């Protein structure tokens, strides 16, 4: 396959680029002709937390929100000079919520909100700021979360059936969306690109087991 050149010679910085979605983004930008710098860390990443202690919440905000903010702040002087752009990785659940995941959901909702606020502030400098909100993407993190569940196969099946498209997304598909936002979507700023296989569409059974259900009856 011939190498694509839509981002030829540009410098791209990717955080968490060693695996999963980050690795998909690194690969996609390399294929687009960019020079890619990425970082990662050695110790295992935190899982999607279910407990809501203030300490755990603070730790997650530190990584997901403040980490994103800090790197962006350092990069902005360069981005203003080069007319570059920022792509944050948020999450669908930041927009629609998810049960038993309050800190994660709140941190991602904040990433989306920060994206929009920064897009407004940076527009005067010609820097676009967008985010991608993935739904279920099959990554090592997803594998680890599934493996920790009592019935991993059932968890993976539920995660797959959540998408009308009948599958999970691939890291390469997030990479392709990131290259699109960076190189072609030149009139997009403050955009939240939902990359979800349609998971947020339509009605579903959403009352939880403990909810008192009030079902209307048909007139006889
Ligand atoms: N996989 C999904 O279904 C999904 C859905 C929505 C959003 N997301 C988001 O996408 C991003 C990537 O998720 P993933 O599924 O690819 O996870 P992953 O665990 O498979 O990969 C994440 C990578 O980031 C690295 N990392 C973690 N903390 C870091 C830090 N502080 N500094 C540098 N590197 C760090 C990890 O070492 C790992 O290599 C996360 O922000 C996640 O919340 C994922």
Annotated catalytic sites, by residue? Answer: 104
Residue to mutate (ligand 1; options 15, 17, 21; most atoms within 8 A of CB): 21
Give the predicted TM-score (pTM) of the model: 0.95
Q: Residue 43 — pLDDT band, cuts 50, 70, 90?
A: confident
For 148-204, how does the pLDDT look when each residue is reduced to its tens digit (9 = 90+)? Answer: 999 999 999 999 999 999 999 999 999 999 999 999 999 999 999 999 999 999 999
Indicate whether residue 141 lines ligand 1 (CB < 6 A). Answer: yes
Helices (H), the chain: 20-31, 54-61, 67-82, 92-96, 102-122, 140-147, 152-161, 171-183
Indicate whether residue 196 lines ligand 1 (CB < 6 A). Answer: no
DSSP one-letter string for 25-82? HHHHHHHTT-EEEEE--SSPPPP------HHHHHHHHIIIIIHHHHHHHHHHHHHHHH
Atom of ligand 1 nearest to the CA of 24: 16
Domains and CATH numbers, the chain: 48-195 (3.40.50.720)
């Amino acid at each position: 396959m011939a190498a694509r050149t839509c981002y030829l010679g540009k410098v791209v910085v990717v955080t968490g680029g060693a695996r999963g979605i980050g690795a998909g983004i690194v690969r996609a930008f390399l294929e687009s002709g960019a020079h890619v710098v990425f970082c990662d860390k050695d110790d295992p990443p935190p899982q999607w937390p279910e407990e809501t202690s203030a300490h755990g919440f603070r730790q997650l905000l530190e990584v997901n929100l403040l980490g994103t903010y800090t790197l962006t702040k350092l990069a902005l002087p360069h981005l203003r000079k080069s007319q570059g752009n920022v792509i944050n990785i948020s999450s669908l659940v930041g927009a629609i919520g998810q049960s038993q995941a309050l800190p994660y959901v709140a941190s991602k909702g904040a990433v989306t909100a920060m994206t929009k606020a920064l897009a407004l502030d940076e527009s005067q400098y010609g820097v676009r700021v967008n985010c991608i909100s993935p739904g279920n993407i099959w990554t090592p993190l997803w594998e680890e979360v599934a493996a920790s569940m009592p019935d991993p196969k059932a968890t993976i099946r539920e995660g797959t059936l959540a998408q009308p498209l009948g599958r999970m997304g691939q890291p390469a598909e997030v990479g392709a969306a990131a290259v699109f936002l960076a190189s072609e979507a030149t009139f997009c700023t403050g955009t939240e690109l939902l990359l979800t296989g349609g998971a947020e569409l339509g009605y579903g059974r959403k009352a939880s087991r403990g909810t008192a259900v009030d079902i209307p009856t048909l007139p006889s």
